[in-house]
Chain A
Amino acid sequence: MMVELADLPEEIREKLRHHRVTHSLRRKSRVFVDTTNFTAIDYGDIILVDDRYFLVTAFTREGRFGVDDQVKPWVPRVEDLNTGEHKILKLVFHETFDITFGPFTIPCYRNPEKEARVLELVKGHPHFMQGEAVLDEAGNLVRILDIINGSRVDKVIQRSGTGHKEYFNNELPDILAHYLPCVKAIGFLHSHGLRHGDVRRDHIFVERHTGLYRWIDFDYDFYLPEKPFALDLFELGNALMYLTARRNIYPRDIMADPDLGESVAGTIEAGDYSLLSKNRIANLKKIYPYIPTSLNNVFLHFSLGTEVFYETVDELYLDLEKVLAQGW
Chain B
Amino acid sequence: MNDWKKVLIAIDDTPTSDKGLRYAGKIIGKLPGVDVCLLHVYPEPPPDYYNSGKSLADYTSQQEVEANILVQRCRKMLTDAGIVPESIVTEVRMAAELKTISETILEVQQQGGYGTIVVGRRGVSKAEEFLFGSISNALVHHSRDCTVWVVG
Contacts and interface: CB of A to CB of B under 8 A. Distances in A.
Contact of B98 (A193, A223, A230): A193
A232 to B, nearest CB: 11
B100 A230 contact: no
A224 B131 contact: yes
B131 A106 contact: yes
B127 A304 contact: yes
Contact of A224 (B95, B132, B134): B132
B128 interface: yes
**Secondary structure call for the A interface:** loop
Contacts of A193: 98
Nearest to B133: A226
A304 B131 CA distance: 13
Interface in A95-133: 96, 101-104, 106-107, 109, 111, 114
A275 B127 contact: yes
Interface in B97-114: 98, 100-102
Contact of B46 (A94, A107, A306): A107
What DSSP secondary structure best describes chain B's contact surface? Answer: helix
Given A94-B51, A225-B43, A226-B102, A306 B126 contact: yes
Contacts of B86: none
Interface in A219-275: 221, 223-228, 230-231, 234, 275
A226 B130 contact: no
Contacts of A309: 126, 129-130
Interface in A281-315: 304, 306, 309
B33 interface: no
Interface residues of A, number: 27
Nearest to B128: A104
Contacts of B133: 224, 226-227, 230
Given A104-B128, A276-B127, A304-B127, A226 B47 contact: no
Given A193-B98, A225-B101, A226-B100, A109 B48 contact: yes
Given A225-B95, A226-B100, A226-B138, A96 B48 contact: yes
B13 to A, nearest CB: 15
A94 B48 contact: yes
B44 interface: yes
A223 B100 contact: no
A79 to B, nearest CB: 31
Contacts of B129: 309
A103 B124 CA distance: 13
Contacts of B78: none
Contacts of B43: 225-226
Interface string B35-48: 00000000110111
Contact of A109 (B44, B47, B95, B101): B47
A61 B6 CA distance: 59
8 contacts: A94-B48, A111-B48, A227-B100, A228-B98, A230-B133, A234-B131, A276-B131, A309-B126
